[in-house]
Structure 1
Amino acid sequence: MPHPQSHPHSHGAVAAGMLAALLTVATGCASADTDRTTTNPTSAAPLAPSAVSWRTWQGIELPVAAQGPRLIEGAVASDFDRSPPGAALTAIHATVRMSLAPDGQWSQVGQRMLAPGPGRDKWATARAQVSIIGPASDWVPIILGYVVAAYTDTEARVETYCAYADRSVTRNTATVVWAADGWRLLLPDPVTESLVTAVDSVPVDMIPLIRP
């Protein structure tokens, strides 16, 4: 979940920004906020995760809940519920882990957390051109919460909101699809809009991820 390019970055964050830029066919900067529309994913399914805790990975705190991930192996997180919160947690983990997985581990993230297709192929080509050794240290995002903008049992669109040290806030839009082994992040190809957007504030319908 990269931050606008105008700020200094650590080595790991720079690499994440480079990957995001290549994926969005942009400069790495977040675009200005645009009109946001949300569809009710389902009136029956719970949208909030339960038993949320936090684990630091590559310098970023990631949420772990009863809805997943229930298995973490190196850079790969898996076993998320087939539910709105399970889809949202997948989107968060997959986006961060594909961006900051260190050398020697990123290919496993691609094979197990990303949906096959041209988007994944382009990401792999981009990732092979950079090196990430250590964790991000500067301008690390704080994950605030998410909105499940659309949901079915086979596909979900998730908007994740993050804050930074300068009090700026971004929205990261991601799509996950259900596969035989669970949710996977679907990287778009072609990219028709910026996946990372600067916003003035979080929406009132955001599901907050509360820290203890």
Structure 2
Amino acid sequence: MTSTEDLLWEHLRSRGLGPGDRLPPERELAADLALSRPTVRIALGVLAGRGLVETRNRSGTYISGTNPDDLLDVRLLLEPYAAHRAARTARPSDHRALQELLGAASAALDDGPAFAAADLRIHEAVGTLSGNVLVAEIMAGLRTRLARSRDNTSPNLGVRRSTLEDLRALVDAITDGDGAGAEAAMRTHLLTVGAAADRLKRDEGRKPR
């Protein structure tokens, strides 16, 4: 059965609304979908929790600038490649630096925001170690979006634990010079975290309000 928020999201997309576009008023959306305004308001809250829409003070509600699915697609194109390159080009000093970053992530396991920051530093380091300046620049440009994408997953201890294991496999593959292994580890990590984010958003949408 399609949830109200999914129905609303599909309706918004069917109207041709994209990133940065302002949503119609709640009363109009309610009329379009034959729903009550409180029901539409709750659905908008769920979409905001997913990062799909955002409310701006005294301005209204807008389609968010970055669809989380679009961000994941870009990362899947970019970061496994970066990991493969890093495994081929990183030096012993780089290996030590990665191990130190991994140690910082492990030490921060019980602190969601600190762990998220340590996780992000590892991803940025892999981008830099790829030796591709454009990859590093793109990763730096995505920093704010990447940080925001962790808002839903970093508070969850189970996700942090699985992420740490993923990062350990990634760093070990890079340290071993295993390009294919590093690429696979990064891809697995991104897909796992993406699936966890979707699951947590669905769970949040089911909570009574």
TM-score by length of 1: 0.29
Larger Rg: 2
Report the TM-score, using the length of structure 2 for normalisation.
0.29
More helix by share: 2
More strand by share: 1
Higher relative contact order (CA 8 A, sep 6+): 1
